[in-house]
Amino acid sequence: MATVSISELLPNLGYLKPGDISFIEEAYRFSEAAHHGQVRMSGDPYISHPLAVAEIVADWQLDAQAVVAALLHDVTEDTSVTKEDIHKRFGKQVAELVDGLSKLDRIEFQSQQDAQAENFRKMLLAMARDARVILIKLADRLHNMRTLEAVHPEQRRRVARETIEIYAPIATRLGLDNFYREMQELAFKHLYPLRYRVLAKAIKAARGNRREVVDKILVAVRERLPQAGIEATVTGREKHLYSIYKKMVEKHLTFSQVLDIYGFRVIVKDVSSCYLALGILHGLYKPVPGKFKDYIAIPKVNGYQSLHTTLIGPFGTPVEIQIRTQAMHRIAETGVASHWMYKSSDAELNEAQRRTHKWLQSLLDIQSTTGDAAEFLEHIKVDLFPDEVYVFTPKGKIMALPRGATTVDFAYAVHTDIGNRCIAAKVNYELVPLRTEITNGDRVEIITAPHASPNPAWLAYVRTARARAEIRHYLRTMQADESRALGERLLNQAIRSLGAKSAEIGPERWEKLARESGAKSRQEILSDIGLGKRLAAIVARKLLALSDLHPSEGRPAGSIVIRGSEGMAVQFAKCCSPIPGDPIIGFISKGQGLMVHTHDCPSARKSRADRDKWIDVEWDPQTERMFDVSIRLIVRNQRGVLAKVASAIAEAGANIDNVAMDEDRSAYTTMFFTLQVANRRHLARVMRALRRIQEVERIARVKE
């Protein structure tokens, strides 16, 4: 193999200059030497894999650096070659491309999932800086999928699932339609081998029955278009197995009910010919209502453009037809790779590049607001689904969002500040709830308020990665501020209990503690205390041990004062619902901050043994909020009793948050209310008012 020239191994390099081909030849020899003696699971020499990847990359006519990176993409991972070696030999750009493609095997992760998530994050961020990274990675994955039979069945399924969930959607997001289809098909084959074989057999049997229909349609279309003066290339194609399987699953159909297993493509010279051809085809066969999509006027997010229509062909067979120009066809087939394949100034191509760049930039935006790699990957998965809805801003601008997106997603798509401050939305000039899903053609307007902030409940229904990442970032920032304030109060209490004062501890002691404990700063330590990740008593002892102060045991610490306005750093336990006036105790819960229970709470009693985590707390005499409390009433089942009870609660100055009643239809009914009261005295006032109602037989506070 060493005597064969690179032009024989990669015959499709004719688009490059002789100097570039020599550069690629050098990279091939380097890669062959590095992988010498290594074999793939199939038994083939390992060099056959980077060579196959380079061949796919050269088919796209990417530049010489990309072909070299394809040949070298596994050397830092599987051999002793380093990034610095590649940098010295082949230049900085090639080294960066290879680094973006390499896995992070040298770092220890808690789990395989963490490692995978970190690999994806690294690859996607490298791709955001240089789209060639993902093109080479997709070529790498496609060749791996083509040779997956040699791999262990369990690993085969894992790789196939990863391909169908991540790589295939990325391929379609970049407009690589051929790659997308082949990856889906191969993943389906390895993920569900039995279903694949059964479906392939059924299609083979159906192919003979429907061949006559397909030929008849092809002849009719090829004759009719030239008669109308339209030059066109018309091709018929069989739909892929996976798309048929997906339709069967989503629409609960049997194979015999999926009639449109054939599609046709009409390629014409310009945009006006697309619409002329559409009119002629609608005259030839009747269109199916609601099955027409104009992706030329409103392109898909990845830049894809075509007219899609479904017609009723001979013998009542549904036929799907795509109509597009040659330039649209190039973009549909090779997507973002068109940038390198065709140095064209076509407006369509520039638009596709602009859309791709916008999406790649959004990856960097999401990364900047995301905590860990797993969360980043979760956001990206959410954002990779290809179905879109197109909506209008009040100024008439078109925006594309994933199907199922809500008005909150729209607000964040416009601008982060609009999302963070939105309080209401109008769809087609009518006020709607923020969780309302938007549909194609809606006009959406967001109403904001200066002091509004994101609601954690939004996370339950937002659809886009950007909205989810921005909401979580805001909540994390808010929680960090609140937990720092709580952590400082807890630490001051612990220091006082040891007979010292916080003011006597100098900044150098804090710096030393941060270094020894692996924290970045004093703020991080305080935040960790507030979130329960560190114990205030232990931090206090370490600080005092680092200083000249000598702690004295046994001095009372004083209590943490609960005002009710601490935010997420202080939470009130649902098991006992404490309210001001109740004797309370605080428990430091890891990751949640300070959890406040009543003294007699059964749940709290179970964990009293962990004394280090329990601290004394007391209510501030002037609390600043309303608190939830549950009550149970047994009332005589008479007309109007619910209205009387609700009226009495309102007159006593309490809010009703929730009400429920049992299903018993006897003389008595049990009612459960969740009320919002200021304190225990306020609750007593409400209960006295309820006891005055004649129909109320019994009333009690519910704590469990």
The helix-helix angle for 373-383 and 347-368 (nearest 10°) equals: 150
Instruction: Supply φ then ψ for residue 610, to 5 degrees.
Output: -85, 75
Annotation marks residue 548 as catalytic: no
- C-alpha to C-alpha distance for 533 and 516, rounded to whole angstroms: 16
Instruction: Supply φ then ψ for residue 35, to 5 degrees.
Output: -95, 10
What are 323's two structure tokens? Answer: 């109509």
Reduced to 3 states (helix: H, G, I; strand: E, B; else coil), residue 665 is: coil
The stretches of 110-229 forming alpha helices (DSSP H) are 112-129, 132-146, 153-162, 168-173, 177-191, 193-227
- C-alpha to C-alpha distance for 314 and 285, rounded to whole angstroms: 8
Closest CA to 56 of 153, 127, 135, 147: 135
The helix-helix angle for 64-72 and 92-101 (nearest 10°) equals: 50
Reduced to 3 states (helix: H, G, I; strand: E, B; else coil), residue 266 is: strand
Annotation marks residue 78 as catalytic: yes
Q: Bridge-partner residues for 618, per DSSP?
A: 561
- C-alpha to C-alpha distance for 72 and 95, rounded to whole angstroms: 9
Reduced to 3 states (helix: H, G, I; strand: E, B; else coil), residue 180 is: helix
- C-alpha to C-alpha distance for 458 and 460, rounded to whole angstroms: 5
For residue 682, the one-letter residue type is H
Q: Which residues contact 364 (CB under 8 A, 6 or more apart)?
A: 125, 128
Sign of the alpha-carbon dihedral angle for 642, 644, 650, 654 = negative
- C-alpha to C-alpha distance for 320 and 116, rounded to whole angstroms: 39
Q: Which one of the listed residues 32, 78, 99, 628 is annotated catalytic?
A: 78
Q: Bridge-partner residues for 433, per DSSP?
A: none
Instruction: Supply φ then ψ for residue 617, to 5 degrees.
Output: -130, 155
Closest CA to 351 of 372, 363, 336: 336
- C-alpha to C-alpha distance for 531 and 457, rounded to whole angstroms: 21
Q: Bridge-partner residues for 635, per DSSP?
A: 669, 696
CB 12 within 8 Å of CB 56: no
Q: Which one of the listed residues 20, 63, 77, 99 is annotated catalytic?
A: 77
Element holding 480 (H helix, E strand): helix 465-497
CB 645 within 8 Å of CB 690: yes
Reduced to 3 states (helix: H, G, I; strand: E, B; else coil), residue 184 is: helix
What residues act catalytically? 77-78
